[in-house]
Structure 1
Amino acid sequence: MLKNLTIEGKNMVKEVSAGAIVYTIENNKPLFLLVQHNHGNHFSFPKGHIEKGESIMETAKREVYEETGIMIEFTSDKMQVNTYLMPNGVYKDVYYFLAKASNHIIKFPKDEIRHAGWYNYDQVLQYLTYDNDKIIFLKLVKELKYENNR
């Protein structure tokens, strides 16, 4: 969703997206879902644009499914927002939630996603391209109810 925004008297465009940090439990340890995008080649969490009439949580659920084939259940309504300025001059807010996977077999659209997979805690911190994503990951993973998230 694009919104018009005025900052210091200048008209700006703001884009709003939503996604999720998705996890599953394997051998009593969490694994997390990452995607590598074709455009930009960066690793991040599944996310996408809000469609008209859609809530942020509905968008996150839809986008995770569209990008990975994974159905999710939110484990909390707590969210983290990543705000940044894109190279094209558009400000972007991305709302992230923590969610548990309902299925585990990943199916992704090859025209949009280069790779998608399950990664452990340390691998997520190694592969994520942007520091802002790492910060959001660390904040939301604290919500997991396991003694050792790693």
Structure 2
Amino acid sequence: MVTEYASGAVVYQIRDGKIWYLLLQSATSDFWGLPKGHVEKNENLIQTAVREIREETSLKTQIDSNFKEKVEYDMKNGHHKDVTFFVSRVAPEVKVRKQDEEINSFGWFDYADAYEKLTYDNLRALLKKAEDYIRNKENIEE
């Protein structure tokens, strides 16, 4: 079985003491997910996450590698996908410009809405872990 490797991040911002998550809607399969993409030759996982976030959203990000979670699944083409996610905080005033070829829509969502909006259960589980990590790191009460 062929394994494809990818990397991305749970991109968030803090406004008025509340965490907001950036979700992207795919232009090709209509699902809601997180910024991510294939690891290219001579790239490490962090470089891939930074590049993919920039390509898909135009955001310049710094990756927090202290949070590192893997999501794995089998794709319709029979390949296995191995995606490593980090977290990345961006400033509230940043402007997202979506990559039209890959991204249909995007939005900033609080945890409850992001959890509901995400299409796949494995991404919901990832969001829960990221939420716990970010609340602890940023010292934000529920």
Higher Cα Rg, which structure: 1
C-alpha distance in structure 1 between counterparts of 2:89 and 2:63, whole Å:
6
C-alpha distance in structure 2 between counterparts of 1:110 and 1:94, whole Å:
22
Identity percentage of aligned residues: 33
1:142 partner letter: D
Please state how far the C-alpha of 1:78 moved relative to its aligned partner.
Answer: 2.5
Partner of 1:146: 139
* C-alpha contact (below 8 Å) 2:70/2:85 kept by paired residues: yes
C-alpha distance in structure 2 between counterparts of 1:64 and 1:119, whole Å:
17
Q: Residue 76 and residue 148 in structure 1: after superposition, are their counterparts in 2 closer, same or farther (change >3 A)?
A: farther
Partner of 2:116: 126
Please state how far the C-alpha of 1:74 moved relative to its aligned partner.
Answer: 2.3
Partner of 1:47: 36
Partner of 1:109: 99
Q: 3-state SS of the aligned residue for 2:48? A: helix
Pairs within 5 Å for 1:62-141: 62-102=51-91, 104-141=94-131
Q: Please, what TM-score do these two structures have when normalized by structure 2?
A: 0.92
* C-alpha contact (below 8 Å) 2:17/2:140 kept by paired residues: no
1:84 partner letter: Y
Q: 3-state SS of the aligned residue for 2:53? A: helix
User: RCO (CA 8 Å, sep 6+): is it higher in 1 or 2?
Assistant: 2
**Higher fraction of helix:** 2
**Is 1:22 matched with 2:15?**
no
Q: How many residues align?
A: 138
Q: Runs in 1 of length 4+ with deviation above 6 angstroms?
A: none
C-alpha distance in structure 1 between counterparts of 2:132 and 2:46, whole Å:
20
Please state how far the C-alpha of 1:77 moved relative to its aligned partner.
Answer: 2.7
C-alpha distance in structure 2 between counterparts of 1:77 and 1:146, whole Å:
16
C-alpha distance in structure 1 between counterparts of 2:119 and 2:7, whole Å:
18
C-alpha distance in structure 2 between counterparts of 1:140 and 1:76, whole Å:
12
Unaligned runs of 5+ in 2: none
Match of 2:47 among 42, 50, 58: 58
C-alpha distance in structure 1 between counterparts of 2:139 and 2:22, whole Å:
18
Partner of 1:34: 23
**Higher fraction of strand:** 1
